[in-house]
Amino acid sequence: DNERTTSPDTRGTGDELHQGVSGGNAMTTSQGIPVTDDQNQLRAGDRGPSLLQDAAFRDKIMHFDHERIPERVVHARGYGAHGVFESYDDHSGLTAAYLFGKKGRQTETFVRFSTVAGNMGSADLARDVRGFATKFYTEEGNWDLVGNNIPVFFIQDAIKFPDLVHSVKEEQDRGWPQAASAHDTFWDFISLMPESTHMALWAMSDRAIPRSFRFMEGFGIHTFRFVTADGKSSFVKFHWKPVQGMQSVVWNEAVKINGADADFHRRDLWNAIQSGDFPEYELGVQVFDDAFADSFDFDVLDSTKIIPEEIVPIRPLGKMTLNRVVDNVFSETEQVAFMTQNVVPGIDFTNDPLLQGRNFSYLDTQLSRLGSTNHTQLPVNAPKCPVAHFQRDGHMQFAHQRGRANYEPNGFSGDDRGPRALTTFQPDTYPTKVEGEARRLRAESFADHYSQANQFWKSQTEVEQKHIVDAFAFELGKCEIPEIRTRMLGNLRNVDESLAQRVADELAMELPEASPAKVAPRHDLPVSDALSIVKN
Ligand code: HEM
């Protein structure tokens, strides 16, 4: 906003000054001081030297020098858009969350789609999982549903996340690949982590090369809780279904598209929204109770497992329409900060150890990525409801705090008193029962890593199965270390013999012995022991 509040007497009105000679806004420094020449530094004489005194030059160069901030440690490449979510009904029998409380109630949203492994400048059509992160600016604060387009995850416990990510990112001794899973360190890690097998199958399927962000599903993955105003709770799994339907490309197309237009997905989203063809996604939940959780074959706290929709169908809650592109990619798409810890009353966590770890990681990383605890005040991150607390100061503080007390309890009144906690507000954190000894060993209920991988394989059509076989053969074929291929084939035998055989055939390899079908959570073992487990 270049409007001036004071007008220098000698130059006419501020408006005139800021109209500039060509009718555009007049250029100023970051301090608002008119720039009289944007082509030349201040020099002594005709040919220099340059003068340190040139504040306009220093202002410009200094700001440029600091333009870059760290890219996200994962999901660095992404694209965002604004939207609106509308509730289909009054769902207060399920959750007290305000946004679901009334038919037709609208809530503004911001979505960022992303790839996971690639750097910020990598190509859109990489074979990879896609992020599907949504910020709901509700009347009761921001709810972030930070999901992916695949309903399961590679690991069960957040403590393995840095290892997973280090393995998939570029290799530290060579600096490649910058956006692909087809390399030794990734498959080395996956082959030693049987719990990753289920997701590895999804990642080798057509899901990992979507036609565009408009034709993708999204999943909250973890089991969450819904809590009603009178304290009743159920477990839920979140699902996004694209109203446009689902579409993928085939690998040959993906490779060509990456070469011809690395921005294919972001361009597609931008074009669709700009032309009024707004993408829509239906949000639904699978709802189940403790009795179902106890009777289910797998642990509902295990993020490497799904709950089949045939067993628990999805109940639709509402629809999101993406209707506005960003004005500025940096200030919106890049500065947006999603955090799994952002849940609103009526939505709560479970003890999924992956979710619990995420609840620490996001805000933590954003402190270094965005540089200040006050990034919550950036327009894209700021709640659209009133905010009141006693958090003070810090780098880049914009909130103009009034009144006297900045602590509580305090004995002041009126404007000096500040906010008070709503101690009677319901629902509060769900009072989950917690007991047991502190221990690291994973429960036995997390130990079956292959049954659901087998179900996924069987659910695929013949064409889709061929794509999975081809993808495994292509990816493993890129591995330089033969033992990695052998170990991976040993794991695939536990998924399905024909899958393993077909991949082995494409790789011109003999099928190795199957790895143990059940692997107790023994990842605390040194790798040499883990290797011998696989060899047994
Ligand atoms: C970023 C999804 C597991 C740490 C993201 C983003 C998505 C996502 C969609 C990008 C958000 C954006 O567009 O800004 C998931 C899903 C997971 C998972 C679905 C498993 C179910 C984890 C775990 C950790 C983790 C276990 C760490 C313990 C991070 C970090 C970022 C990130 C540090 C960067 C955030 C930022 O810089 O703003 N994740 N993630 N994620 N994730 Fe995860």
Residue 181: predicted pLDDT: 87
Cβ(161) to ligand 1 under 6 A?
yes
ipTM: 0.98
Residue showing tokens 């023994």: 522
Residue 533: predicted pLDDT: 46
SS3 at position 321: strand
Please compute the mean of the pLDDT values over residues 499-519 and round it to a whole number.
93
Residue 534: predicted pLDDT: 46
> Does the pLDDT value for residue 23 go beyond 90?
no
Q: How confident is the model at residue 16 (pLDDT cuts 50, 70, 90)?
A: low
> Does the pLDDT value for residue 5 go beyond 90?
no
Q: How confident is the model at residue 478 (pLDDT cuts 50, 70, 90)?
A: very high
Please compute the mean of the pLDDT values over residues 386-398 and round it to a whole number.
95
Cβ(73) to ligand 1 under 6 A?
yes
Mean pLDDT of the chain: 93
Residue with the smallest CA separation from ligand 1 atom 29 is: 362
Residue showing tokens 């809780």: 225
Which token pair is 314? 């999805």
Distance 441 CA to ligand 1 centre (A): 25
DSSP 80: E
> Does the pLDDT value for residue 128 go beyond 90?
yes
Residue 75 a catalytic site member: yes
Which token pair is 478? 């890129």
Cβ(137) to ligand 1 under 6 A?
no
Cβ(74) to ligand 1 under 6 A?
yes
Q: Is 137 annotated as a binding residue?
A: no
> Does the pLDDT value for residue 526 go beyond 50?
no
Cβ(133) to ligand 1 under 6 A?
yes
Q: How confident is the model at residue 303 (pLDDT cuts 50, 70, 90)?
A: very high
Residue with the smallest CA separation from ligand 1 atom 32 is: 74
Residue 29: predicted pLDDT: 96
> Does the pLDDT value for residue 9 go beyond 60?
no
Contact 224, 95 (CB under 8 A): no
Please compute the mean of the pLDDT values over residues 8-22 and round it to a whole number.
52
Q: Label residue 210 exposed, middle or buried (CB < 10 Å: 0-12, 13-18, 19+).
A: buried
Handedness of CA 458, 462, 464, 466 (dihedral sign): positive
Handedness of CA 335, 339, 342, 347 (dihedral sign): positive
Distance 424 CA to ligand 1 centre (A): 33
Residues 35-79 have pLDDT tens digits of: 999 999 999 999 999 999 999 999 999 999 999 999 999 999 999
Amino acid letter, residue 195: E
Distance 149 CA to ligand 1 centre (A): 13
Residue 521: predicted pLDDT: 56
> Does the pLDDT value for residue 536 go beyond 70?
no
Q: Which long-range contacts (CB under 8 A, 24 or more apart) does 520-529 make?
A: 520/444, 520/447, 521/156, 521/441, 521/442, 521/446, 521/447, 523/160, 523/193, 524/440, 527/192
Closest CA to 307 of 260, 240, 359, 238: 238
Residue with the smallest CA separation from ligand 1 atom 23 is: 358
Residue 406 a catalytic site member: no
SS3 at position 285: strand
Cβ(134) to ligand 1 under 6 A?
no
Cβ(300) to ligand 1 under 6 A?
no
Q: How confident is the model at residue 403 (pLDDT cuts 50, 70, 90)?
A: very high
Higher-pLDDT residue of 309, 427: 309
Residue showing tokens 């709810």: 143
Residue 42: predicted pLDDT: 97
For the chain, the C-alpha Rg in angstroms (whole number) is 27
> Does the pLDDT value for residue 450 go beyond 70?
yes
Distance 177 CA to ligand 1 centre (A): 20
Residue 427: predicted pLDDT: 87
Q: Is 112 annotated as a binding residue?
A: yes
Report the percentage of the chain scoring pLDDT > 70: 92
Q: Is 362 annotated as a binding residue?
A: yes
Q: Label residue 504 exposed, middle or buried (CB < 10 Å: 0-12, 13-18, 19+).
A: buried
- Whether residue 409 is preceded by a cis peptide bond, meaning omega within 30 degrees of 0, is yes
Q: How confident is the model at residue 428 (pLDDT cuts 50, 70, 90)?
A: confident
Amino acid letter, residue 521: P
Residue 300: predicted pLDDT: 98
Residue 497: predicted pLDDT: 98
Q: Is 98 annotated as a binding residue?
A: no
Closest CA to 283 of 323, 234, 236: 236
Please compute the mean of the pLDDT values over residues 310-317 and round it to a whole number.
98
Residue 122: predicted pLDDT: 97
Element (H, E) at 280: strand 280-288
Residue showing tokens 């990598």: 122
Query: In this predicted structure, which of 179-183, 187-191, 293-297 has the lowest mean pLDDT?
Result: 179-183
Residue 519: predicted pLDDT: 65
CA distance 376 to 397: 10
Distance 161 CA to ligand 1 centre (A): 10
Residue with the smallest CA separation from ligand 1 atom 16 is: 147
